[in-house]
Amino acid sequence: MFKRLKDIEVKYMDLESLLSDSDVISKQPLYQKYAREHAELHDLVEAYREYEKIHARVEEGQTLLRENDEELKSIVKEEMPQLREQLKSLEDQLKILLLPRDPNDDRNVLLEIRAGTGGDEAGLFVGDLFRMYARYAEMCRWKVEVISSTPAGGMGGFKEIIALIAGQGAYSKLKYESGVHRVQRVPITEAQGRIHTSAVTVAILPEAEEVDVHIEPNDLRIDVYHSSGHGGQSVNTTDSAVRITHLSTGLVVTCQDEKSQLKNKGKAMKVLRARLLAMMVDKQNKEISETRRSQVGSGDRSERIRTYNYPQSRMTDHRINMTLYNLESFLDGNIQGVIDTLTTHFQAEALNQSA
């Protein structure tokens, strides 16, 4: 491991030299490529340098312990446990930083939230979850753009909402949100105060560029029709809504939120590319491991990653056995603590698998 780390440090210093080279600076695409590589290595190299510094202090301490100066030896003995602890912590950090990097981590995200079991309550919770992610995105200074939405009916909420979340590292932070989210609460229509359980599915897809997924124009069927509002009411007298069918896979994407047919088509193509990229990645992952779980599941109440219990103001993430009793704050977008814990958990799993 340390031979590899030394090689990475040498590469990092070479990149620093290149970034100050006038020939490289004059070629912006090349400069940006080197700058990205340099930035990706920064945390790893800084941790390695800190490790080397602490390691040198430990070795120096071991030398001093062989000296005859009892007072100095006493100081060193007191200091050594803390230094060894720092060394172990840095070694664990380096192992995590050396894990293969998810190439999608810096991408924007297509967030898809759909009502599962639970009728009107599930539709309302789709709206609640969308608000939670939108608030979190605002805290991260990311941009949120609704791609398409299907209202749930008279009670409010959505059958489905799809949004683009654009910002540095959006996928790296949100990728563990995929799955079934279960909600337990008393519906506003429930006269007897009984708690109902509903389910909503969340899918987090990395935004795909045209270069990632090649789509043959002949493989698309594009239909246009009148946009509809609540209850099928026409909100538009032109054929601006767009439905795109990818014939090879059977994937269907619709978009009607914009008044422009061209804008709706552009948004629908973004969603289609993201779904095709997700299918490609899933296929690759299944070839590596047939035991990998599917991303979302069926939307049944039993397939859950997280439960939101309103009467107890409780949020439980079942993957990490983490329970918080501040549901209102959590649904207001304060989800960073859980995201950090999930990231650490899955990094530890990846370390175990690579051992």
Query: Which CATH code for domain 109-211+293-353?
Result: 3.30.70.1660
Domain boundaries, the chain: 2-97, 109-211+293-353, 217-286
Assign a CATH topology to domain 217-286.
Double Stranded RNA Binding Domain (3.30.160)
For residues 65 and 158, give the distance between their C-alpha atoms in angstroms, rounded to a whole number. 69
Q: What is the model's pLDDT at position 211? A: 61
Q: What is the model's pLDDT at position 263? A: 86
Per the CB < 8 A criterion, the answer to whether 248 and 255 are in contact is: no
For residues 307 and 304, give the distance between their C-alpha atoms in angstroms, rounded to a whole number. 7
Per the CB < 8 A criterion, the answer to whether 248 and 214 are in contact is: no
**Helices marked H in the chain — which ranges?**
2-19, 22-25, 28-64, 70-97, 120-139, 170-174, 261-288, 327-331, 336-354
Q: Return the half-sphere exposure (C-beta side, CA atoms, 13 A cut-off) of residue 114.
A: 13
> What are 258-273's pLDDT values in tens digits?
788 888 888 888 888 8
For residues 267 and 251, give the distance between their C-alpha atoms in angstroms, rounded to a whole number. 15
Q: pLDDT by residue for the chain (355 residues), tens digit each?
A: 778 888 888 888 989 899 988 888 888 888 888 888 888 888 888 988 998 999 998 888 888 888 887 888 888 888 888 988 888 888 877 877 777 777 788 889 999 999 998 888 899 999 999 999 999 999 999 999 998 888 887 778 899 999 999 998 899 999 999 999 999 998 876 667 788 899 999 999 888 776 667 788 888 898 888 766 544 444 445 578 888 889 888 888 888 877 888 888 888 888 888 888 888 877 766 654 443 344 455 444 446 899 999 999 999 999 999 999 999 999 999 999 999 999 888 888 877 766 5
Q: What is the model's pLDDT at position 142? A: 97
> What are 35-73's pLDDT values in tens digits?
888 888 888 889 889 989 999 988 888 888 888 878 888
Tokens 């994407």 belong to residue? 253
